[in-house]
Amino acid sequence: MENIGFVSLGCSKNLIDTEVMLGILKDHHLRIVDDLAAADIIIVNTCTFIEKAKEESIRTILDAARYKTEGRCRMLIVTGCLGQQYRESLLEEMPEVDALLGTGSWDRIWEAIQAVKQGRRACFMDDVRHLYDQHTSRVRTTPTYSAYVKIGEGCNNGCTFCIIPQVRGPLFSRPIDSIVAEVKTLAAEGVKEINLIAQDTTSYGVDIAGVSLLPALLRQLVEIDGIRWIRLFYLYPHYFTDELMELMIREEKICPYVDLPLQHIAQSVLERMNRRDSQADVLALIQKLCRHGRKLALRSTFIVGFPGETEAEFQELCNFVEDTAFDAVGVFSYSQEDGTAAAKMPDQISAAVKEERYHMLMSIQAAVSERRNRSLEGTLHTFLAEKIVEEDGVVQAVGRIEIQAPEVDGLTYVDNAAGLQPGDMVVVRIVQGFAYDLTAELAE
């Protein structure tokens, strides 16, 4: 039995592609190992979202190639977005790579292995309008109680800074019955938290029905026994309807967590970014989401240093972040990506200015987040235990409450947690809020 080692880079959408490839290989009786030095075949699933991600992908490929001489690796396969973007040129520049699979070729992983064994360097670049379904084998790498479910692929938004539509294709949604069937299976396996993801989750179903089918999907998912939390990622404003908002507030299983990738607020910058929603649209949505007294936690991401961003435009963004009081914010320095319209724009901002603006906006948000977290003190929340730590006889549980997403948000620490196990969900009272994390106690 051959050993498979893997490295999955980038977003959770990429992680699902990795998991279904591992499922295919497990069906072919290959064994998955954590130690790359013990792997006969190494798979690196790459990201190309921004320059730092691209550099990490290349560095990881070269690190994995060392195991051809320092370990037992006989085959190195590169998959995902970096390969989709650069295709055959990546094979030419990296002789260490034995096979290359694009984002639409994950289901040809076994075929690629067989081709390499026959002495050929494989390069498969198939239609990216291609998704796994409920029948696809999958080896989940997340904790047993939590899973990601991809409901769609691709994007129709055409933002000038983004390479993703070129490597993931146009919007392509899974049928509702396929998603429901998968979530039922996951629930039967003990999964309690479902994280729904797509490039643009609120656009789910627009290619099928002409309108967002996300509310229709959610109404079926909340009926599935065993699922406690349903979390929505990448909720673009354009299709964020009143129906969706009311559903999120009304249904207890849907986490009150609104992840809005806004990117900027200055109208002139939004126009250069080719964003679908104007400043007025965004402000109206924020007002609507806050109508119920902030029952919904707000998270967003922003880009600083976009080509031509003036000091006035940046200050407008800073004021917006402070005034809106997002619960959490991610900030990216603009990355000049080959093949995007923004890469050719004049007035590119220097690295030094981008770095300065990044730290300024993060500093503003840190203060806002601390105020928001302090406002939670004394309130009750459902807590999902993820790790149990014992030191000097004190047992502490580390995990998340319903407004903290895996990987991207802070953590909650609960003392005197003897008896809790990873995956347990209990009610806690927030004791203290900090800039990123919370402390809590078990509620009586």
* Contact in structure between 421 and 400 (CB atoms under 8 Å): no
**Which letter, b or e, does each residue of 263-297 get, where b requires 16 or more Cβ atoms within 10 Å of its Cβ?**
bbbbeebbebbebbbebeebeebbeebeeeeeebb
Please tell me whether 81 is known to bind a ligand.
Answer: yes
Distance of alpha carbon 230 from its chain centroid, rounded?
15
Please state the φ and ψ torsions of residue 186, each to the nearest 5 degrees: -65, -40
In terms of Cβ atoms closer than 10 Å to its own Cβ (0-12, 13-18, 19+), residue 421 is exposed
What is the rounded distance in angstroms from the CA atom of residue 26 to the CA atom of residue 139?
A: 8
What is the rounded distance in angstroms from the CA atom of residue 211 to the CA atom of residue 200?
A: 13
How far lies 353's CA from each of 46, 348, 356, in Å? 29, 10, 5
Q: Supply the DSSP string of 288-354, one letter for each residue.
A: HHTTTSS-SEEEEEEEES-TT--HHHHHHHHHHHHHHT-SEEEEEE----TTSSGGG-SSPPPHHHH
How much is the pLDDT for 120?
A: 94
What does pLDDT average to in each consecutive run of 10 residues of the chain (444 residues)? 94 93 95 95 91 91 94 95 88 94 93 96 86 93 96 94 90 96 98 97 96 98 98 96 95 96 98 97 95 88 98 98 96 94 96 98 97 97 96 92 95 94 97 96 89
How much is the pLDDT for 400?
A: 98
- Using alpha carbons, select from 299, 1, 2, 4 the residue that is nearest to residue 141: 4
Please tell me whether 73 is known to bind a ligand.
Answer: no
Q: Residues 6 or more apart from 396 whose CB is under 8 A from it? A: 388, 389, 390, 413, 414, 415, 417
Q: Supply the DSSP string of 91-111, one letter for each residue.
A: HHH-TT--EEE-TT-GGGHHH
Please tell me whether 11 is known to bind a ligand.
Answer: yes
Q: Residues 6 or more apart from 343 whose CB is under 8 A from it? A: 336, 337
Map residue 120 onto helix, strand or coil: coil
What is the rounded distance in angstroms from the CA atom of residue 270 to the CA atom of residue 162?
A: 13
What is the rounded distance in angstroms from the CA atom of residue 168 to the CA atom of residue 161?
A: 15
Give ∠ CA 316-321-322 in degrees, rounded to 5: 100
How much is the pLDDT for 1?
A: 85
What is the rounded distance in angstroms from the CA atom of residue 142 to the CA atom of residue 132?
A: 18
User: Which pair of structure tokens corresponds to residue 48?
Assistant: 């190309």
Please tell me whether 255 is known to bind a ligand.
Answer: no
Q: Is 13 left (phi over 0), alpha (psi -120 to 50) or beta?
A: alpha
pTM of the complete model: 0.93
How much is the pLDDT for 51?
A: 85
Strands, sheet with 41-46, edge to edge from the N-terminal-most edge strand: 31-32, 3-8, 41-46, 75-80, 99-101, 122-124
What is the rounded distance in angstroms from the CA atom of residue 281 to the CA atom of residue 266?
A: 12
How much is the pLDDT for 50?
A: 81
Q: In the chain, what are the domains?
A: 3-124 (3.40.50.12160), 146-375 (3.80.30.20), 379-442 (2.40.50.140)
Please tell me whether 155 is known to bind a ligand.
Answer: yes
Neighbouring-strand partners of residue 259: 299
How much is the pLDDT for 48?
A: 87
Which amino acid type is present at position 249? I
* Contact in structure between 290 and 323 (CB atoms under 8 Å): no
User: Which pair of structure tokens corresponds to residue 75?
Assistant: 């085959």
